[in-house]
Amino acid sequence: MSRRHSLRVELAAALALVLMMAVVSLALAGEWLARRRHEANEDQRLRDHTRGLALLLAPRVAGGTPAAAERAEVEQALRPSIGSLGIVAIELHRIADAGSQQVLSLGLAPDGLPAVAVGDTVEDALAAVGEWSVVDRPLRSFGARAPQSKLVLRVVGRRAPWTTSANWGEIAVLALGVGVISFVLGVGLLELQVLRPLAQLQRGVRAVAGGDLDVRVATDGPAELRDFAAALDDMTARLAARQRELAEQRDRLVRAEQLASIGRIAAGTAHEVGNPLATILGYVELLLDPRQQPPLDDEARSMLERVREQLLRIRNLVAQLLDYSRATRVDAGAVPLRPLCERLVALLQHDPRCAGVTLAVAGQASACALADASKLEQVLVNLVVNGARAAREAAPQGRVELRVAAAERDVTIEVQDTGRGIAPQIRERLFEPFVTTAKAGEGTGLGLATSAGLIEAMEGSLVCLEAGARPPLREGDSPGAVFRVTLRAAEPASNPDGGAAVQATHSAPPGP
């Protein structure tokens, strides 16, 4: 198994190596260039000094080679230059056809110098031999011997050293300081621009691996890392959407299995219970017939009426089981919601199940949904009756309100009551069969499950909002429960007479 290394350590080591090589290379290159400039400056100063000496000697050697009387004067003029600017020797040569002859020499010239060089011009000839610089400067001569010979002034100088061991120590310290500062700045830049964004990406990947698909990675690093974070966020969003889709499919499969199971139970119940139940109910009705002889006393009649009531409840339960198990068929069309809700409220105002509860409708009048009007009315009746029962249990003067709202693609109907709301332990199972908050004998627990199935068949959704999602209908009342029906928006269809087509029927509402 290979040993794991920290990216921070590897990047720091690589940065240190690169910076060391860069600093050393720059230091050596700088020193080399500075030395070249120094040597060029030294040579130029020597050439300038040689030109000055040539101007000084020109009048004294105008007639050619100086005579013995003039030699002392020439040496006296040249001697002060020995030792200045590193000059160690000054020579005067006469160039003739026979060759070169040294006429005058001051100082001690080193061995191995090149021969005197002179051309047809009066330009200087510069030669470099190791640490020595040699400048040959032709002198103008006049007189009878001028055509046969030329005089050349040679100056030999030692270049001043550019650096010493102490200088190299200072350079090393300076280079080390620059390298350390650059290393610290580089490590800080790596930490801010690379390592911290990578750590954020690592935390995001770990969160996704742990199952948190809602995590979002925010990084302020380079564009490449931001693009990587955006790709990771897009991937997690797609995974979350896929997970929700799979959850919805699982719920639909579970619901389909429940429907199939209840269908099998309902079919058997209808056969095994329905027929005997009809027979028993028929005998009870026969006994309650006022023409029955001998007539029943009041106590016996009261008992038979209670028996008939319970038998009717059983028959109603069997009918609801059959309705819940049957496949829902919808006839979708454009349904104006506000008129539908207003007719529904007018119908239920006189229903005993809504006695003592105020029913109201609010919201947009133009909202239109793609739905089956009769099925939607069945759902709303169930929600309003449930809300009325909850509001009546919470306060003597309860209230239930239907609110219609329209968005770009969807329309919603919210049914809110002033009851005590839905208990948290029941909220998650609220739309499962046989789950009810009603008292024993007041509900079967199939109303919301059936309503959810009807809305799903219309490609909509039925949900119960979280507690406190809406303010109370009246000041001082409980926020109650809020059920939201969401359907696809539709354009209202027009009748030939110009009115909006309303597909609504007043079917008998099921029990809550």
pLDDT digits (tens, 9 = 90+) for 462-476: 999 988 888 888 887
Main-chain dihedrals φ then ψ at residue 74, nearest 5 degrees: -65, -45
What amino acid is encoded at 272 in this protein? E
Once rounded to an integer, what is the mean pLDDT over residues 385-395? 88
Once rounded to an integer, what is the mean pLDDT over residues 87-109? 82
Number of continuous H segments (helices) and E segments (strands) in the chain? 11, 12
* Helices 165-190 & 7-57 angle (0-180, nearest 10): 140
Enter the DSSP assignment of 329.
-
Enter the DSSP assignment of 432.
S
**Percent of the chain surpassing pLDDT 70:** 79
Per-residue pLDDT tens digits for 257-275 = 776 776 677 667 766 777 7
Termini Cα distance of the chain: 67
pLDDT-based confidence at residue 507 (cuts at 50, 70, 90): very low
pLDDT-based confidence at residue 165 (cuts at 50, 70, 90): low
pTM of the model: 0.47
Work out the mean pLDDT of the chain and round it to a whole number.
78
Which domains are seen in the chain, by residue range?
7-162 (3.30.450), 225-324 (1.10.287.130), 330-488 (3.30.565.10)
> How far apart (Å, rounded) are the C-alpha atoms in residues 296 and 123?
155
Q: What does the pLDDT read at residue 444?
A: 62
